[in-house]
Structure 1
């Protein structure tokens, strides 16, 4: 593959839109961030993306575009099925619209899937053919890489790892579930449980505050319980933990690992590595760029998105 070919990776969020221009060998040439229009209805958001593309790539050097969405897309990467944090985003044909405005092939995927692709390409997952990414943030997202390929299921919606059930009578979830892993491990869950922000709890733990340390141990046990189910189903080589909460991983991963070792048979966790993500908030644009490479006209769209 010619590293001089350029692509664009876009990470669409509820408050900001991040964009990056990359060569196909993974070199980032330039990034910009623009605010997401409020209210974030489809048309103004799409226009903001087009305007930002023109700023990032005024000479039209990039020849394909990938977009990470805060919600599921269809299996072909053409339609944003729904976006949890964006109003009125229901069955929006985002790829067709961006292609029509820019004249460049475009593909979209769930933002956690993009983060997984990014970590598989240039981050903590690059040494593995089979791993899970879990993003611990405002919500809890996930991505599954199987045999070097992004697994999206028969209709494109697989990998909602944060929505697995832990407690049938637990806190209600926007998905309609109750007591999901997300309701135990997201930033919102941490606020509900402690009245504090994760970064404050991290600072307290670093100063050996006993209550903060005990909270993180309890948090790790909940995380380990959720990961147990995923390990038994997928038996990955590695689990990569990302998202903002992962900044305190040193305080909760030991208890998560202990929970896994207690609950998972050795044959299902043989050689398992649990790692923190490496790309930080760049994972989304890196993975979206990888998506774009897959729909570059000289390569053609690869349904399996082999990384």
Structure 2
């Protein structure tokens, strides 16, 4: 099935048509900068631009950086606070005239990684993290998603701040950290994650994962830690898969 997947990020909103059986984008990705401030009306206007660009009239899957329950957004760390308690799924469907499935952005990326990427066929607890403006997390136990984990907001007591305000890729850029300095921050974070969850496998996604050779070797966890093969496409592909399965 060919379905439209859209990934709302802190800096860009990306979309493409996806073959959901193969887990592959069948068009080039369209990226439009995320409006600032990222209020619901402005973001939904961009979604409509993406839908119109692809002349799409079928189901749409959308990933958003926040907790989503029954189509309602319940957190808004890297988007505007107007999203809180906002019925995003219905508003997007009304604006586009298409059926929409709205879910947490890291969860939809995780669906793609587990279905088509580095997590395929892995049993036990698999944890997937997207490193970007923030830190997104997706947790799977024997292939089943535990939704809305938001482990980027785990408080690091010794650092006296949330994990994503200590170790997100954004922080590396803002503080001009070397790969080694950033890798050691990630090491502290993932050792804490491992202590709490004891995963069998940790997978790192997001655009920076294509540079994994620069920093992954600084992370000394018991569990293997590997890059996601789908990288920045995972959010688009996973969102499209969820929409196709719901239609």
TM tier relative to shorter chain: 0.7 to 0.9
CA contact (8 A) 1:134 1:242 kept: yes
CA contact (8 A) 1:19 1:56 kept: no
Which residue of the partner structure matches residue 151 of structure 2? 161
The structure richer in strand per residue is 2
Larger Rg: 1
Q: How many residues align?
A: 243
Which residue of the partner structure matches residue 24 of structure 2? 27
Deviations 1:174-217 (A, max 9, x none): xxxx333323322343356xx42x6xx45xxxxxxxxxxxxx1x
The alpha carbon displacement at 1:288 in A equals 0.9
**Residue among 171, 190, 195 paired with 1:189:** 171
**Residue among 73, 86, 105 paired with 1:80:** 73
The alpha carbon displacement at 1:247 in A equals 4.5
Q: TM-score normalised to the size of structure 1? A: 0.70
Once residues 107 and 241 of structure 1 are traced to their aligned partners in structure 2, the CA distance between those partners, rounded to angstroms, is: 25
User: Structure 1 stretches of 5 or more lacking a match?
Assistant: 171-177, 203-215, 262-271, 297-307
Which residue of the partner structure matches residue 97 of structure 1? 91
Which residue of the partner structure matches residue 69 of structure 1? 64
Which residue of the partner structure matches residue 293 of structure 1? 244
Deviations 1:58-117 (A, max 9, x none): 4x3xx321111022212x2x1122333332222221111222334432111121112211
**Residue among 92, 97, 100 paired with 1:106:** 100
Once residues 181 and 13 of structure 1 are traced to their aligned partners in structure 2, the CA distance between those partners, rounded to angstroms, is: 18
Which residue of the partner structure matches residue 123 of structure 1? 117
Once residues 247 and 105 of structure 1 are traced to their aligned partners in structure 2, the CA distance between those partners, rounded to angstroms, is: 33
The alpha carbon displacement at 1:234 in A equals 3.1
Q: TM-score normalised to the size of structure 2? A: 0.85
Once residues 39 and 232 of structure 1 are traced to their aligned partners in structure 2, the CA distance between those partners, rounded to angstroms, is: 37
Distance 1:133 1:37, change over 3 A: same
Once residues 53 and 22 of structure 1 are traced to their aligned partners in structure 2, the CA distance between those partners, rounded to angstroms, is: 13
